[in-house]
Amino acid sequence: MDELRYTSTRGNGAEVTSAQAIKQGLADDGGLFMPLDIPLIADDTLVELCKMSYAERAAHVLGLFLTDYSHDELLSDCIAAYGEDRFPGGAAPIKGLGDSIRVLELWHGPTCAFKDMALQIMPKLLSRALTKTGEMRKAMILVATSGDTGKAALEGYRDAAGISIKVFYPTGGVSRIQKLQMASQEGNNVSVTAIRGNFDDAQNGVKRIFSDADFAAELNEAGCFLSSANSINWGRLAPQIVYYISAYCDMINAGDILLGEEIDVCVPTGNFGNIFAAYIAKCMGLPINKLICASNSNNILTDFLATGTYDRNRKFYTTMSPSMDILISSNLERLLYVTAGSDKTAGWMKELSEKGVYSVDDETKTMLQRSFEGFYCDEASTQAAIKRIFDTYGYLIDTHTAVAMHCAEQYLEQNPSKRHMLVVSTASPYKFAASVLDAVSDEKPGDDFETIDTLCRVTGAAVPAPLASLKDKKVRFDTVINADEMKADVAAFGGIKA
């Protein structure tokens, strides 16, 4: 097979292998890496995939994009990433609600949210990328987290060859469960430190360290370089394409659809990574009719898809679906590139960074609207959707999934059809237990663990094992420092003096 090469969405022209794209993360011109061609998936391949396990499907689909990785490498990594021990009961199971709605549950991994789908495999791909590119140094992943991403990254990178990971979280604004999840992290290459302050303090500290050239030189001498677990890395996006193809196979196997039959897909969206992966699957030939882009009150994407104008100069809302509280959806740049090319994309990104707003031309807008439609869901409708789905089907969903459910219903009201609607579920309801409990009952939430117990008693929904076992986990990391001590902390972890 010919090697698939990658290039920047902003058109600097340099072409790299998939291993280089994964190692580098961002292109030199600030753009994101995209493959030069999108491989197609033929009907007879889909028939073959239908007979396979999730890990085998993942190895096949990833192999179409990561052509400098061997099938054996990918298969052994996918088996390790998506096995029963990491994803009990299967990596991406589907629940049926009534005749036409199918829910794709992406939260059966170690942190009970969909980031695990990419972060369980991405570190393995990065480890191999270091070898493939002849990198002699070790990578140190540096993360500032407000909670969920840090834990998912720690779980993904623990014990990854040639890589270590350091996570900073703020003492303010992280829940007791999130704190305990990180403080009890296992693995021989991990380190977690709390920062006195809020998320911005932790984030700014990490940014300062990343931009410190002298420090980078010192680390380099010690045989180490800093890297981020950023969500725009192609190594995080490619694994997300898999579950759309896998879901389609499972729907065929369940007798929901016939091979070739179109479905609609609704995705709760923040950074536009998950829904963009669905779009790639559509470009590969997977029979997807419309992609419904579901937003919460931060409905910048709803407006963009309706008007063609992306305007971040607006109020920012803190909602009960916090992973979607985003005003800059980084992966949208990839869609613009695929639709309108690198010249226009580079121009729009420049306008976005300088003025916070850009408008695409009518031709581009029309092309986008052919595949995408945006809807949004406010706070009251989010809670109403949780209650309605629970009352109707006895099925409990989290706040992010509720946003998608509401938007899917809006779409179906305006576009009645016999097509199946695949609604993507991105977190266990127990991850957002207080909001979910408030939606389905009059009982008052207590502390994190009490709320989980109450929600379980009221609804009878099973508590995922990683949350249920958390109370008994041993705390390994209890250091608290000031933000100005972060560099020394990283230096010590990297084995040098700051």
Ligand X SMILES: *Cc1c(COP(=O)(O)O)cnc(C)c1O
Amino acid identity, position 351 = E
CB 59, CB 36: distance < 8 Å: no
Question: 10 Å Cβ neighbour count for 117?
Answer: 28
Here the tokens at position 263 are 């479905």
Pick between residue 189 and residue 399 the one whose CB is nearest to ligand X: 399
Pick between residue 271 and residue 339 the one whose CB is nearest to ligand X: 271
Size of the site for ligand X (CB under 6 A): 16
CB of 300 to ligand X, least distance (A): 12
CB of 113 to ligand X, least distance (A): 5
CB 337, CB 34: distance < 8 Å: yes
CB of 219 to ligand X, least distance (A): 29
Helix (H) / strand (E) containing 388: helix 379-393
CB of 324 to ligand X, least distance (A): 5
The three state secondary structure string of 298-366 is CCHHHHHHHHCEEECCCCCCCCCCHHHCCCCCCCHHHHHHHHHCHHHHHHHHHHHHHHCEEECCHHHHH
Of the listed pieces 15-23, 107-115, 350-358, 484-492, which binds ligand X according to CB under 6 A? 107-115
Here the tokens at position 37 are 């061609």
Pick between residue 164 and residue 426 the one whose CB is nearest to ligand X: 426
In 3D space, the residue among 138, 320, 115, 132 whose CA is nearest the CA of residue 230 turns out to be 115
Confirm or reject binding of residue 323 to ligand X (CB under 6 A). Answer: yes
Q: Which of 61, 66, 94, 113 binds ligand X (CB under 6 A)?
A: 113
List 23, 115, 282, 431, catalytic entry: 115
Q: Which of 23, 102, 108, 115 binds ligand X (CB under 6 A)?
A: 115
Catalytic-residue membership of 444: no
Here the tokens at position 385 are 């959707």
Q: 262 to 301, contacts with ligand X by CB under 6 A?
A: 268-274
- As a whole number of angstroms, the distance between CA 466 and CA 93 comes to 18
CB of 42 to ligand X, least distance (A): 28
CB of 5 to ligand X, least distance (A): 25
Q: What is the DSSP letter of 297?
A: S
CB of 188 to ligand X, least distance (A): 27
Phi/psi at 44 (5° precision): -70, -25
- As a whole number of angstroms, the distance between CA 32 and CA 25 comes to 8
- How far, rounded to the nearest angstrom, does the alpha carbon of residue 398 sit from its chain's CA centroid? 16
Indicate the angle between helix axes 433-440 and 448-459, nearest 10 degrees.
40
Pick between residue 316 and residue 478 the one whose CB is nearest to ligand X: 316
Here the tokens at position 360 are 């695409």
**Greatest CA separation found in the chain?**
65
Q: Per-residue contact track with ligand X, 212 to 251, x per CB under 6 A?
A: ----------------------------------------
Pick between residue 215 and residue 243 the one whose CB is nearest to ligand X: 243
CB 305, CB 293: distance < 8 Å: yes
In 3D space, the residue among 345, 363, 366, 371 whose CA is nearest the CA of residue 278 turns out to be 371
Pick between residue 163 and residue 326 the one whose CB is nearest to ligand X: 326
Q: Per-residue contact track with ligand X, 145 to 184, x per CB under 6 A?
A: ---x------------------------------------
CB of 70 to ligand X, least distance (A): 28
- As a whole number of angstroms, the distance between CA 497 and CA 476 comes to 23
Q: 388 to 417, contacts with ligand X by CB under 6 A?
A: 400
Q: What is the DSSP letter of 250?
A: H
CB of 447 to ligand X, least distance (A): 22
Pick between residue 19 and residue 293 the one whose CB is nearest to ligand X: 293
CB 248, CB 301: distance < 8 Å: no
Q: 132-152: string of b/e by CB count within 10 Å (b at 16+)?
A: beeeeebbbbbbbbbbbbbbb
Q: Which of 114, 157, 248, 411 binds ligand X (CB under 6 A)?
A: 114
Pick between residue 324 and residue 346 the one whose CB is nearest to ligand X: 324
- As a whole number of angstroms, the distance between CA 135 and CA 224 comes to 10
Here the tokens at position 498 are 């700051």
- As a whole number of angstroms, the distance between CA 242 and CA 223 comes to 35
Pick between residue 39 and residue 322 the one whose CB is nearest to ligand X: 322
Give the binding site for ligand X (CB under 6 A).
113-115, 148, 268-274, 323-324, 400, 426-427
Residues with catalytic roles: 115
